[in-house]
Structure 1
Amino acid sequence: MSTDLDPTPSAAQEPATPASTRRGPKVVERGSRAHLVMIGASALVALAVIVWGGQLGTFEQGQLTRVAVFAIAIAGLNVATGYVGLLSVGHSAFFGLGAYTTGVLVVRYEWSPLATIPAALLLCLVVGFLVGLPALRIRGLYLAMVTLAFGVAFPEIIGQFEGLTGGSEGMTIRRQQLRPPEWSGFTLGERAEWLYWLSVVMLLLVMLVIHNLVKGRYGMAMIAVRENEIAASASGVNIAVTKTAAFGVSGAITGVGGSLFAMYIGSLFAEGSFTLLAGITLLIGLVIGGEATRMGPLVGAAAVVFLPYYTSELGSGQGAAVLFAIALIAVIFVAPAGVVGGITKLVRRVVVLVPAPRVSAQRGSAPRDPGRRPKKGATG
């Protein structure tokens, strides 16, 4: 029993703590009404942004098209580097391979530009499997050196096939060859708008594929390999298949981005657009946006497209490069897990998503009391 002389008051005498200070983040179950409302609101916002982009001028729309193209390429890199932990510096080679696949098929063989996207995907998928084979033996910086060699060698390889790729002089896709298909309803003068909508649709498809990939069993295997290969192997994960498949899928998705880039730029020059610097740009975009996140590639692509543009207005030449580097360091310092990773961490202080509780297979069966012993002769 406490008295007036007690230095610590009793629980009944303690001042009530405000509910706002005791309340934690709101818990929302997946599939619940609140969760569906959040998804619907996000979809409406995304749709509004996409429609708004379709109403912009040619230059602004072109910038958004570049963001969508680079987001696809970075999303491919995210599969290997973000989810599996296979550091790749030379993904610019897959980007360039997809672009030159489209360029060669359109210029030399008169394919429709839209029909070259599956061809670029398949070719980059096969090459990705082959490049991913060293990942079965090496990892970390050693694997990065292998991808670095692939990225450095790509412009030289392109230069050896001068009759097919144009060699060091490059390749130009005529404007007439990039005419939108008749069923699209766009004319040749509306090619920029057609490329915008095509790039946005392809980006949405890529994000949907990666979402389903990561949420499935293979996605769990990729994350397990990234965290601990020995533990993943002990759990029954096929390390070889997971790594090579991840590199193949990664290269294929990045190749799709390269194919769209060829349609957008219309002029291919391996020494200018697909050097090692392009691979580093993709890696920078992934780091800024956030590794192993769904929206990270989109945010990172916006950063690598718009940051150089706005810093060039503040300075020119080396000054613009320095300003871009300062902005990059500032973003990494403020959000080490990337912009999306930092935002996710802040959102989890307010809202936390949890899996929905499992429903018992037998309806109407009451939960069994763990402390109650079964009757004699009854099966457990």
Structure 2
Amino acid sequence: MTSPRLAIVQGSAQHRALQLGGLALAALVLLWGAGQEPFRVGQLTSVLIFAIAISGLNLATGYTGLLSIGHSAFFGLGAYTTGILIVTYDVEPMLTLPVATVLCFVLGFLVGLPALRIRGLYLALVTLAVGVAFPELVRRFADLTGGAAGMVIRSRQLAPPEWTGLALGQRGVWLYWVSAVTLIVVLLLVRNLTRSRTGMAMIATRDNELAAASSGVHIASVKTIVFGLSGAVTGLAGGLFAMYVGALSPDGSFTLLKSIELITGLFVGGAATLYGPVAGALAVVFIPYYSSDLASGHVSGIIFGAVLILIVFLMPEGVVGVLGRALRRVVRVVPSSPSAPSEPPASTPQKREDTP
């Protein structure tokens, strides 16, 4: 095994320059995206929103090992919370996002309670039941949600705030930047969480639950809190999605197909990686779009599935996992070695006097 060509000490000038270069590149990419035509800006906004939703799923499934097939329920609850507050109560759209996040945290916490006694496929079946029940609940409370007919948010209710200086026709650019900033904040929070003691407890729970419990990890707290945080992040993405599409329907974007999209994006991009959700969101948005250009109808779906199978077969650790492994062959960040403590001076042995 060949050693990497370049080793960069963490915290050194080279490391800080590398980080600043990455930030500058990300800023240039975001500026480039904002300058595209409206249709392309809408696609990129969809990528940003899906990346936030997949980041929420990544906390539960990727870092903690709690397989969830019902995250479409969190996504839908966040979207309908935003829609109801805007349409029925005329609340400012941005003020609805914290409410959607809190409600989805509570739902995630409640869904995480069965994980205290069951795990694996049995836990997946519980989350599957939640995902199946959500569209039915939307139809049941038609007076509040609009039922099967759906809910439409008027364009004027989604207009950019006056302090931005943007007109109603620039709503797409405004939502693009809101989604971009939200994704950056979510990635920073996920990064800090997974590098903390709580993150170590999450990974220990995923790898070996019995060993983690014997090491002092409170498994019940980790599972329920992580499920709550996972639901909160995905619900936040759902609120942004409601502002993005402006029309909600239980049979549209909140069925189990949405959960499958999120899971697909997670594993294609790279589970338990920070930037895997971004790569996965690019895949689930752009691969169907370009495959529909090659063929139409069922053939397009077959091409989409074949591409996903090929990606998973060639890159089982995900796109970001493969890129990270290739990058580590070229450059590696090593922790800075602490300065060696100075050795204390050797004590001079004292002459022992015998008692006469």
TM range (shorter): over 0.9
1:238 and 2:214 are equivalent in the alignment: no
Q: What whole-Å deviation, never above 9, does each CA across 1:184-217 have from its counterpart, x for those lacking one?
A: 2211111111111111011111111111111111
| Aligned partner (choices 99, 112, 123) of residue 119 of structure 1 | 99
Does structure 1 conserve the Cα–Cα contact (< 8 Å) formed by 2:4 and 2:328? no
Correspondences of 1:1-380 after superposition (within 5 Å): 24-359=4-339, 365-367=341-343
1:374 Cα offset (Å): 7.7
The one-letter amino acid of 2:285's match is V
CA 1:57–1:239 in 2, change beyond 3 Å: closer, same or farther? Answer: same
The one-letter amino acid of 1:366's match is S
Unaligned runs of 5+ in 1: 1-20
Other structure's SS at 2:342 match: coil
TM-score by length of 2: 0.95
RMSD value over aligned CA atoms?
Answer: 1.6
1:359 Cα offset (Å): 4.0
Percent identity of paired positions between Structure 1 and Structure 2? 54
Does structure 1 conserve the Cα–Cα contact (< 8 Å) formed by 2:3 and 2:329? no
1:26 Cα offset (Å): 2.5
Q: Distance in 1 between matches of 2:209 and 2:36?
A: 48
Does structure 2 conserve the Cα–Cα contact (< 8 Å) formed by 1:76 and 1:249? yes
Q: Distance in 1 between matches of 2:2 and 2:247?
A: 61
The one-letter amino acid of 1:261's match is F
CA 1:59–1:22 in 2, change beyond 3 Å: closer, same or farther? Answer: closer
Q: What whole-Å deviation, never above 9, does each CA across 1:77-127 have from its counterpart, x for those lacking one?
A: 000000000000110100000000000000011101110000000000011
Does structure 1 conserve the Cα–Cα contact (< 8 Å) formed by 2:54 and 2:281? yes
1:25 Cα offset (Å): 4.0
Residue-pair matches, total: 350
Rg larger for: 1
Q: Distance in 1 between matches of 2:180 and 2:160?
A: 15
TM-score by length of 1: 0.89
1:348 Cα offset (Å): 1.3
The one-letter amino acid of 1:178's match is L
Q: Distance in 1 between matches of 2:124 and 2:19?
A: 37
Other structure's SS at 1:237 match: coil
Other structure's SS at 1:146 match: helix
Does structure 2 conserve the Cα–Cα contact (< 8 Å) formed by 1:25 and 1:348? no
CA 1:155–1:375 in 2, change beyond 3 Å: closer, same or farther? Answer: farther
